[in-house]
Amino acid sequence: MSGPDKPKVIGEEWSDERVKSYLDLTPWDQSVNADHFVLNRAYEAMRAEDFERFVGFFVEAGRDLNAEDEQGATILDRVASHRRSADYVRALEKAGAKAGATDGH
């Protein structure tokens, strides 16, 4: 919680341990693909450089970078649809991410 006595921290450095901690997240709904859920949460929470480090740890852990959501979209599909996400897209593509079936490719 931020306020006058506790200023909001912007640009905080994330340790490898903090970045890796996202590997332990699990979806509330067991019908949701856990790998897609984790990638989505990391994308929403991390700066591009931290997300790139996370993607490396994610792949190293043997997780599925091309996991799909209920509509057949991968994390690359979601990230690529956002205007200011070029650094995130590059990180995903560099690691081997592919577009999902919904992309039309």
Tally of residues, the chain: 105
Backbone angles phi, psi at 42, to 5 degrees: -65, -40
Contact indicator for 56, 95 with CB cutoff of 8 Å: yes
Per-residue pLDDT of the chain (105 residues; tens, 9 = 90+): 444 454 544 567 899 999 999 999 999 998 899 999 999 999 999 999 999 999 999 999 999 999 999 999 999 999 999 999 999 999 999 999 998 865 444
Q: 32 and 68 in contact (C-beta within 8 Å)?
A: no
How many CB atoms sit inside 10 A of residue 39's CB?
Answer: 30
Give the CA dihedral 15, 64, 83, 21, nearest 10 degrees. Answer: -20
Q: Structure pTM?
A: 0.82
The full set of domain ranges for the chain reads 16-98
